[in-house]
């Protein structure tokens, strides 16, 4: 009897499960049909204004998935590719339906080098004779820099402009370590390798302050020069505005020629209508940059058979597979091999946007790049940052291009190991070890021995020496010359050009053009690598009931506090010797 009862229950449960799956399937199919309908509804009308907001995260490479689940649930909507933005603006120059561009961003969700690249492309757009106008209720520093490219900039009458120059803040944890008994044991090479300074001191070292001041001034100078050219003001006048906060409200901003008017958004819309040559009673046709890209305007159409392969290395470097956000040797090596096997690929451009990471993974990718150079020209294009391990990947290219505001260099390595011996002693925990051999061992509950420190130091020194050798060979410099500009020091793209770490200032298009020259081809198309495949379980992380721990923490702590938490967490997980940039930089 129990057997029959259990059997019937199992059968009933199976039918219920199948019924639920069927209902869900019908819902998904209906939603997909609706989603496809929405995509088809995107229409580019005549007399349209291309709207730039840049609220989605701008990545160097953000390929849209062909998976219908991604389109259905909007997994592709939180990012936009820099290459697609630049191509869209290029296409808009000659698009008779696009009359001009409107910049309406409250904050540019992109790095400073990416922002400058888009801004430069907008300068090219202006050569077409079409208008660019900008409006916001509030401008932060990056959004003002970006918007200053416009023919005219407007703001809300009660809005504000946060324009005060660049700054950087570093938190130090030495006292916290002493009070808690949790110490981070640090072994490093490079007096500027200041990623570990917060665990060693209570204040910034002179060397660190020097390098931070240098690259911040270099980046700020790039921004000031661009703004002064667009606003027809001298560099001294721009700096005076920043020093004295002379754009903090609408009245001051207009008086100091940082703004062209203080109006409301409906009045701004009327200005766009006038610029488009339509009546104020007519509706203004606007199309967002993402919608413009979705109808195929994010690609430059080419029919050539020859290809330039652009391989994107973006994110921290880890030992392993890697994905769209992390550089793993498996994914990059696979992409390099795939490009080499394609007989139509005539040259490779490696686009690097990375603060570094695993020294071992960097070395493995470096080796594959060396093999690639034997058969194909190799050019590097640096994005927001190509430092430490990111520079490791770059150093052996036939030519290196950097944006003026790129952060690069940081040729140095470190190891960091947590130690809880003081805390353990305070709370009465004693750890005893038993070993078969007398080699140097380490326990987080015991003070680091001199023998273990010696062995670890040797490992750090060996990696640093290898790093110097790779750079010296790639840059045709002596090891002594490299060491003099290494030591973990960070440089801007401009300074890196002056000291020989890069060959030329330019963007990705410049690097592609140079690669084509090396390959001796003039008619070609660009092929992007690598291809990313997301596992099914990862696709549903955006659902409220399947949110990751990180997303929950962001909602609870806020973006700013989460970044602090994430920084501490990342350092606690570092394994092996690191060739990593000294900072997590967010320039505001």
Residues 453, 153: Cα–Cα separation, whole Å = 58
- Cα 187 → chain centroid: 28
Enter the pTM of the model: 0.81
CB-based contact 131:151 (threshold 8 Å): yes
The per-residue pLDDT for 564 is 59
Residues 339, 71: Cα–Cα separation, whole Å = 28
The per-residue pLDDT for 361 is 96
Q: Compute the radius of gyration of the chain from its Cα atoms.
A: 27
**Residue 469 in tokens:** 């050798």
Beta bridge partners of 184: 418
Instruction: Identify whether 271 is a catalytic site residue.
Output: no
Q: Which domains does the chain have, with CATH numbers?
A: 48-164+245-297 (3.90.226.10), 307-430+438-580 (3.90.226.10)
The per-residue pLDDT for 148 is 97
Residues 443, 60: Cα–Cα separation, whole Å = 42
Residues 192, 202: Cα–Cα separation, whole Å = 16
Residues 115, 147: Cα–Cα separation, whole Å = 10
The secondary element (H helix, E strand) that includes residue 272 is helix 265-276
DSSP-assigned states of every residue in 472-528? HHHHT--HHHHHHH-TT-EEEHHHHHHHTS-SEE--HHHHHHHHHHHHT-SS-EEEE
Residues 93, 89: Cα–Cα separation, whole Å = 7
- Annotated active-site residue in 193, 273, 307, 346: 193
Residues 493, 167: Cα–Cα separation, whole Å = 18
Instruction: Identify whether 143 is a catalytic site residue.
Output: no
Rounded-to-10 torsion of CA 117, 120, 121, 125: 170
Split the chain (588 residues) into runs of 10 and give each run's mean pLDDT.
Answer: 59 64 59 48 88 91 64 62 94 95 92 95 95 96 96 96 89 79 75 68 82 90 96 96 95 96 96 94 93 90 92 94 92 96 97 94 97 96 95 97 94 82 82 79 82 84 92 95 90 95 96 97 94 56 50 60 62 62 52
What is the Cβ-side half-sphere exposure of residue 511, based on CA atoms within 13 angstroms? Answer: 30
- Annotated active-site residue in 48, 84, 290, 388: 388
CB-based contact 515:347 (threshold 8 Å): yes
């Amino acid at each position: 009897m129990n057997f029959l009862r259990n059997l019937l229950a199992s059968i009933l449960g199976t039918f219920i499960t199948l019924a639920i799956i069927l209902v869900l399937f019908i819902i998904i199919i209906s939603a997909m049909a609706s989603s496809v309908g929405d995509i088809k509804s995107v229409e580019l009308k005549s007399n349209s204004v291309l709207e730039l907001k840049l609220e989605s995260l701008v990545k160097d490479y953000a390929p849209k998935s062909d998976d219908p689940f991604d389109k259905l649930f909007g997994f592709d909507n939180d990012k936009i590719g820099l290459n697609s933005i630049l191509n869209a603006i290029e296409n808009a120059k000659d698009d008779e339906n696009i009359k001009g561009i409107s910049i309406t961003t409250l904050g540019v969700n992109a790095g400073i080098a990416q922002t400058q690249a888009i801004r430069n492309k907008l300068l090219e757009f202006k050569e077409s004779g079409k208008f660019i106008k900008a409006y916001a209720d509030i401008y932060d520093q990056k959004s003002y820099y970006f918007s200053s490219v416009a023919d005219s900039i407007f703001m809300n009458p009660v809005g504000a402009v946060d324009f005060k120059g660049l700054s950087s803040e570093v938190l130090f944890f030495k006292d916290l370590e002493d009070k808690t008994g949790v110490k981070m044991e640090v072994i490093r090479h490079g007096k500027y390798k200041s990623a570990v300074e917060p665990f060693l001191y209570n204040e910034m070292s002179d060397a660190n302050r020097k390098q931070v001041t240098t690259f911040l001034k270099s980046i700020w100078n790039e921004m000031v020069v661009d703004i002064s050219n667009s606003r027809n003001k001298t560099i001294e006048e721009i700096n005076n505005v920043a020093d004295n906060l002379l754009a903090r409200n609408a009245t001051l901003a207009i008086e100091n020629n940082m703004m062209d008017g203080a109006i409301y958004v409906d009045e701004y819309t009327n200005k766009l209508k006038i610029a488009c040559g339509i009546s104020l009673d007519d509706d203004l046709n606007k199309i967002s940059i993402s919608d413009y890209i979705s109808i195929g305007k994010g690609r430059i159409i080419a029919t050539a058979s020859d290809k330039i392969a652009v391989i994107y290395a973006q994110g921290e470097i880890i030992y392993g597979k890697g994905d769209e956000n992390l550089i793993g040797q498996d994914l990059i090596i696979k992409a390099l091999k795939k490009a080499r096997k394609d007989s139509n690929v005539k040259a490779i451009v490696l686009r690097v946007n990375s603060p570094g990471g695993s020294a071992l993974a960097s070395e493995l990718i470096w080796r594959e790049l060396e093999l690639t150079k034997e058969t194909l020209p190799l050019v590097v294009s640096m994005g927001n940052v190509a430092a430490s391990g990111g520079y490791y990947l770059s150093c052996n290219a036939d030519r290196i291009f950097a944006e003026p505001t790129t952060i690069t260099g940081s040729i140095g390595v470190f190891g960091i190991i947590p130690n809880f011996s003081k805390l353990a002693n305070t709370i009465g925990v004693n750890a005893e070890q038993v070993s078969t051999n007398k080699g140097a061992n380490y326990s987080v509950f015991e003070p680091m021995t001199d023998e273990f420190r010696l062995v670890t130091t040797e490992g750090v020194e060996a990696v640093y020496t290898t790093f110097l050798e790779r750079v010296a060979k790639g840059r045709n410099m002596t090891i002594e010359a490299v060491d003099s500009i290494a030591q973990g020091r960070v440089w801007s793209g401009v300074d890196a050009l002056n000291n020989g770490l890069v060959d030329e200032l330019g963007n990705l298009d410049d690097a592609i053009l140079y690669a084509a020259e090396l390959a001796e081809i003039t008619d070609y198309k660009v092929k992007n690598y690598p291809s990313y495949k997301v596992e099914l379980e990862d696709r549903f992380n955006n659902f409220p009931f399947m949110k990751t721990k990180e997303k929950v923490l962001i909602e609870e702590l806020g973006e700013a506090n989460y970044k602090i938490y994430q920084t501490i967490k990342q350092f606690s997980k570092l394994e092996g010797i690191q060739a990593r940039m000294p900072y997590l930089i967010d320039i505001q």
